[in-house]
Amino acid sequence: MALSYEDFMSDVVTAFELVGVAILIVGSLLAFARYVRELLGGEVRLKAFSDLRASLGRAILLGLEVLVVADIVRTIVVEPTLESAATLGVIVVVRILLSFAIDVEVDGVAPWRKARSDAGANG
């Protein structure tokens, strides 16, 4: 029994969703494990907490990227309707805002100032 194209792409979307959620879960667990290890190793609490926030932010950003891929594939291939396209648009806008906010939290500088900040640190 052969899968139809739509069924196959639906399975692909499900796989991307599972990978995205796995990244969120595993990344979060690793971030917390590192936090506990740093605290037990005598690391300054503020630095350990800062590292935790940065690690969690990176895990969230990567997980969101993969979940957006799933939404794009679903919208373009599985459910190509105007409603799903509008939903995708809202999801992408929310994802951009979340990514921006998390990026600023992780790096401590706005993305458009990052190159200037990196050049100053290296020069």
The yes-or-no verdict on residue 9 having pLDDT over 80 is: yes
The yes-or-no verdict on residue 24 having pLDDT over 80 is: yes
Mean pLDDT of 48-53: 88
- Number of independent structural domains in the chain: 1
Cβ neighbours, 10 Å, residue 7: 11
| pLDDT tier for residue 18 given thresholds of 50, 70 and 90 | very high
Range of the domain at 20: 5-122
pLDDT above 90 coverage of the chain, percent: 23
Report the alpha-carbon distance of residue 11 to residue 83 in Å, rounded. 21
Look up the pTM and report it.
Answer: 0.75
Dihedral of CA 108/111/117/118: which sign? positive
On average, the pLDDT of the chain sits at 83
Question: What are the structure tokens assigned to 121, written together?
Answer: 């640190």
Question: What are the structure tokens assigned to 23, written together?
Answer: 């990244």
Report the alpha-carbon distance of residue 57 to residue 27 in Å, rounded. 9
